[in-house]
Homo-oligomer: A and B are copies of this chain.
C-alpha cells in the first residue's frame, strides 16, 4: 500500500487504523470480580495464514497502545504523541508512527511478510480498550475507582478471549518489552499449549523492590494531587495533571541510565552560560526536558489507567503467583521456547532478572536463550536498540519455525 502514501518508508506496514472488538463473554478477574462489557482496541499487520499458525501477539508497556507499527490513519493531535510508548523515541515524535515501528514490518524483526502481528491495547488502558475511564454500565458514568483492580494475568486473559473471538487459538510467539514481557511470560505459564515461543525483552519475573518503590511514588504523586478527587475526576473539568506530570518525570529518569543522561544533557544550562537564580524555572536542560515530557504525557494519558497498570506490574510475581514462591516451580508448565533480551544499563529491569529466568528454565531443561546487549540507554533500550535486537529475534523466530 506504500505507493499511495508517499511518506511511508520502505519496511513500513503503511497506514493503519486502530479497530475495536467487543468481547462476547465477561472476563473473570483475579480479584474475584467479572468485567463486562469489555471492548478491545487492536491493530494487525500482515496476513493471517489459512492455518492461522503465523500469529505473533505483541504486548505493550505501561503507557503504550494498540498502535505498534505503521502510520496512524488518523494523525495524532500535534504534541500528543510526544514521548509516547512507555519511553521516549525521539525519531517517531509526532509522526503518528507506532511505538515499535522499527521492529514490526516487512523484513523487520517481526516480519509482516511472514507473520500476522497483532497488538491490543491492554485491559485497563485508556486508548480504546475498556479501562477506568470507560463507562460503567451499572452507573452510566466512567468507572473511575470502581474499576476492578487488575493483574497481568487479567490482561492476558483478555488478550486470549480477544484472539479466540478472531478465531485464533494458537500463537507462534508472544513478544513484549517491560510490562509487555511480563505478559509474554504469563502467557507461557498460564497457556503453555497455546504458545510456541515467547520473546521477553527488558523485563522480569517480578519487579525488584526499588522498582516497586518508584511505581509507588508515581502513584502517590497522582493520588496526592487534589484534582484526582479520589479517582472521580472525569467530567469535573479538572484532572490530576500536576501529579501525573511528576509521575511521568519519575518514569523518565528510571527509563534512562545515568550515563545516558550525562551524554544527553550533562550539566548544560538552559538559557545561558550562567545561572539565573530561580527556584521556579528550569536552569538545567535536563530540568526543562522533564517539564516538557510531563506536559506532553498528560495530554494523552489517563491518570487512573496509569494507577491501574502501575499496580498490575508491581503485583506481577511469577514465583509467588504460580510457584508457591519458587520461580522454577512457576515455570514448570512452560512449553514455549524462550528468548530473553536484557540491556546492560537497564537498572529498572536489570539483566539479573532475565538471568534468573534463564537459570530456572535451564534447570528445568527447557529451551531458553538470553542475550544481554551492552548499550547505554537504560530501560529505553528496548525501544531504541532495534538494530541489535532484530537479528537475534529473526534467528530465534526462524529456528522456531524450523521445529
Contacts and interface: CB of A to CB of B under 8 A. Distances in A.
A72 interface: no
Interface residues of A, number: 59
Contacts of A308: 279
A226 B256 CA distance: 29
Tally of this chain's copies: 2
A36 interface: no
A234 interface: no
Given A223-B280, A242-B224, A245-B224, A262 B214 contact: no
Contacts of A275: 315
Interface of A: 30-31, 145, 148-149, 206-210, 212-214, 216-217, 219-221, 223-226, 231, 242-243, 245-246, 249-250, 253, 256, 258, 261-262, 264-267, 275, 277-280, 282-284, 286-287, 290-291, 294, 307-308, 311, 314-315, 317, 320, 347
Given A217-B246, A220-B291, 16 more contacts: A145-B279, A206-B267, A208-B262, A209-B262, A209-B264, A210-B256, A213-B290, A216-B290, A217-B249, A217-B253, A220-B294, A224-B246, A226-B226, A246-B246, A283-B315, A284-B314
A320 B284 CA distance: 13
Nearest to A274: B320
Contacts of A290: 213, 216-217, 220
A216 B250 contact: no
Nearest to A214: B253
A279 B209 contact: no
A118 to B, nearest CB: 28
In this complex, the member of A30, A212, A213, A347 whose beta carbon has the largest number of chain B beta carbons within 10 angstroms is A213
